[in-house]
Amino acid sequence: SQTIHQWPATLVQPVGSPLSLECTVEGTSNPNLYWYRQAAGRGLQLLFYSVGIGQISSEVPQNLSASRPQDRQFILSSKKLLLSDSGFYLCAWSQGLARGTEAFFGQGTRLTVV
Amino acid sequence: GESVGLHLPTLSVQEGDNSIINCAYSNSASDYFIWYKQESGKGPQFIIDIRSNMDKRQGQRVTVLLNKTVKHLSLQIAATQPGDSAVYFCAETSNAGNMLTFGGGTRLMVKP
């Protein structure tokens, strides 16, 4: 069966520090991968998605970046965090939404920038 | 479309009553829709989906209705239980099926 792992679960970082959140998927190959951010009490905002290794599409301009160095690994990074980067970050995968299969989410990383 | 900047609306229902959660979407090219349930501090979980060639789909205690004419989606939960308390999001695909865009979400509170 397929599983998605996201870590760390919580993170407190000072303003101006770098960020690296990692997401890995097991049990499938060539998945579509997604990074979402959710502010407290808000909806989910799509940040990046990837349809293959090295292929990243950015939906929202910001000081975050994403990389996909391996087929089932998706990394969210920042060189210098801002206070506004605080939020709940969710990684998700799908085997092809166009084929009518849903996206599966990790348990999220709660990031607090202080 | 997305409403990530808005506070979540709340629907409060009595245990045992039916719940109806609504969602409007904006992309007429979307052809696949999903309802997710998100409990506090957790990632969203799949509830039910529907393709645009259907207008109704039923699961266990849940029914999704799709009205493409007015771009409206609804989730009906029968005999709502306290465990149904959560935030519910609709999502739609776009861009040849590679993007999953979420609606603003609705908080469901079930009173015992």
Q: Name the percent of chain A lying above pLDDT 70.
A: 95
CA dihedral over B56, B75, B47, B72, signed as positive or negative: positive
Nearest alpha carbon to residue B70 among B34, B8, B22:
B22
Given an 8 Å threshold on Cβ–Cβ distance, is B32 in contact with A98? yes
Band of residue A99 on the pLDDT scale cut at 50, 70, 90:
low
**Average pLDDT of the segment spanning A42-67:** 89
Find residues 38-77 of chain B whose CB sits inside 8 Å of chain A: 41-46, 49, 51
**Average pLDDT of the segment spanning B9-13:** 94
| pLDDT the model gives residue A102 | 82
For B37-63, what is each residue's pLDDT tens digit? 999 989 999 999 999 899 999 999 999
**Average pLDDT of the segment spanning B64-83:** 96
Q: Is the pLDDT of residue B2 over 60?
A: no
What is the token pair recorded at A32?
Answer: 């579509």
Band of residue A100 on the pLDDT scale cut at 50, 70, 90:
low
What is the token pair recorded at A40?
Answer: 């407290």
Instruction: Determine which of A102, A107, A109 to mutate to test the interface with B (most B C-beta atoms within 10 Å).
Output: A102
| pLDDT the model gives residue B1 | 36
| pLDDT the model gives residue B5 | 42
DSSP, res B8:
P
User: What Å distances lie between residue A53 and A67, A73, B95, CA to CA?
Assistant: 8, 9, 19
